[in-house]
């Protein structure tokens, strides 16, 4: 029996998108509260951001709908013509299928999830329903196999991070004589696997242009990237943070020389609006850099992001594929904030996490001593080097020779 696809009103979608943009709850929390799929909510937000400008240009919308109506009419005429051809082709192919394929082969083509009823499919494929409903002996159906499956389930319940190797070792310790392949097949049959976090923050788009890596010229004799001036190289990246009911994403921009965090933002979705808002904030607060380095993620290779950099005359640099060390400056900051703040605490929601990150970054910039800076703070190095200012940005007296 077919399942009717659930639809949602525009008002309902707009209400949920506004709640996502407010950032009070994660996407998973909002989706769970309204009984929808998180992927739908992410797609609605993307659609909303892409079409905001239409609210101020009604003529463009009218024109678009007229063009769409004309296209639909053309499609209708084409489909009517194609339908006549399809009926003739269907009758021809139906006769050939019966003569070429065996009953067993035709049975495989029956799809229980298809909108077409099973009776209709069997009639078209010339398959007997008795053949269709024949069930061979199921795997793992013996008493011995079922006892092993029960043991695997008990081990997995206690240790959900165990993979097939550890479960196999535990079974042997418990007196079950089974092989590794048997355990692997059994876990696949049961639909279980080791639990571990698997979000990806770098998803490349093959259609986007990848800019070359420009920081190789800054390497010293030991192969380390050494930047001698502030606002010469900025670097950015996205990392994920796990909350109780889903993931949120943190984006930040760092000055490579001083290690100062110039701007940051927390979001419950990972899209181009996250990266562009952080970039715009940094450019509004500080002098522009000579080079801006990122990974090859689709957010950074998108035209929206690269056009902002080009408009400001900033050279674009991107890490080599699979080379996280090319962006080591921001990677080390991720390690610092996670080991010194995030891994030590639990956060009820995004609002609490946002306050904690804000407090940590202020402490990091103003008071945290950095060994790579000769035990100075990032603010001290940044302001003294760029503006002859103190750690708060207040101008110092000119030096006397």
Q: Are residues 257 and 353 in the same domain?
A: yes
Least confident of 124-133, 182-191, 221-230: 124-133
User: For residues 356 and 339, is the Cβ–Cβ distance under 8 A?
Assistant: no
Task: Please report the pLDDT score of residue 398 as a whole number.
Answer: 40
As a whole number of angstroms, the distance between CA 374 and CA 229 comes to: 15
* Domain count across the chain: 2
Output the pLDDT for position 254: 95
Between residues 380 and 125, the one the model is more confident about: 380
Pair 182, 308 in one domain:
no
Q: Please give the pLDDT value at position 77.
A: 82
Q: Can you give the residue range of the structural domain that contains 167?
A: 143-190
pLDDT value, residue 391: 47
225 lies in a domain? yes
The sign of the CA dihedral 335, 339, 340, 344 is positive
- Asked if the structure places residue 401 within a domain, the reply is no
Residue 4 lies in a domain: no
Q: What is the pLDDT of residues 1-20, one digit of tens each?
A: 556 677 888 888 888 888 88
The strand pairing partners of 315, in sequence order, are: 291
Task: Burial-class residue 377 by CB neighbours within 10 Å (0-12, 13-18, 19+).
Answer: buried
* 46 within domain boundaries: no
In a shared domain, residues 286 and 177: no
- Residue where one domain finishes, among candidates 190, 223, 251: 190
- Within a domain: residue 86? no
- Of the listed ranges 122-136, 179-193, 267-281, 322-336, the least confidently predicted one is 122-136
- Is the domain of 345 the same as that of 219? yes
Q: Which residues contact 98 (CB under 8 A, 6 or more apart)?
A: 106, 126
Residue 332 shares a structural domain with residue 227: yes
Give the position of tokens 């229980």.
112
Q: Residue 240 sits in a domain of what CATH number?
A: 3.30.420.10
22 in a structural domain: no
**272 shares its domain with 366:** yes
């Amino acid at each position: 029996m077919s399942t009717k696809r659930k639809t949602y009103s525009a008002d309902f979608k707009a209400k949920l998108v506004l709640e996502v943009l407010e950032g009070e709850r994660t996407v998973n929390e909002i989706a769970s509260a309204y009984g929808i799929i998180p992927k739908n909510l992410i797609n609605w937000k993307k659609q909303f951001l892409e079409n905001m400008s239409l609210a101020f240009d009604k003529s463009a919308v009218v024109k678009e709908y007229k063009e769409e109506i004309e296209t639909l009419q053309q499609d209708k005429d084409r489909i009517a013509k194609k339908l006549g051809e399809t009926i003739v082709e269907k009758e021809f192919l139906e006769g050939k299928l019966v003569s070429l394929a065996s009953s067993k082969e035709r049975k495989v083509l029956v799809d229980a999830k298809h909108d077409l009823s099973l009776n209709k499919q069997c009639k078209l494929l010339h398959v007997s329903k008795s053949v269709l409903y024949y069930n061979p002996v199921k795997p793992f159906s013996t008493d011995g196999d079922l006892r092993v499956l029960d043991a695997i389930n008990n081990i997995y319940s206690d240790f959900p991070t165990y993979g097939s190797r550890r479960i196999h070792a535990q079974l042997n310790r418990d007196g079950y004589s089974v092989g590794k392949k048997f355990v692997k097949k059994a876990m696949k049959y049961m639909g279980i696997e080791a639990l571990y976090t698997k979000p990806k923050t770098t998803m490349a788009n093959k259609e986007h242009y990848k800019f070359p890596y420009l920081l190789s010229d800054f390497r010293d004799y030991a192969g380390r990237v050494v930047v001698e001036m502030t606002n010469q190289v900025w670097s950015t990246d996205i990392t994920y943070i796990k909350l109780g009911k889903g993931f949120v994403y943190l984006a930040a921009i760092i000055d490579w020389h001083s290690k100062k965090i110039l701007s940051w933002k927390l979001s419950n979705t990972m899209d181009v609006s996250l990266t562009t808002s952080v970039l715009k904030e940094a450019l509004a607060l500080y002098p522009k850099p000579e080079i801006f380095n990122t990974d090859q993620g689709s957010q950074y290779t998108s035209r929206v992001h690269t056009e902002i950099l080009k408009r400001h005359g900033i050279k674009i640099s991107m890490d080599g594929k699979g080379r996280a060390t090319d962006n080591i400056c921001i990677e080390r900051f991720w390690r610092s904030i996670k080991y010194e703040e995030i891994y030590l605490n639990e956060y009820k929601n995004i609002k609490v996490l946002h306050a904690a990150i804000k407090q940590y970054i202020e402490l990091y910039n103003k008071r945290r001593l950095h060994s790579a800076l000769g035990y100075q703070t990032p603010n001290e190095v940044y302001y003294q080097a760029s503006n002859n200012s103190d750690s708060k940005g207040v101008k110092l007296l000119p030096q006397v020779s």
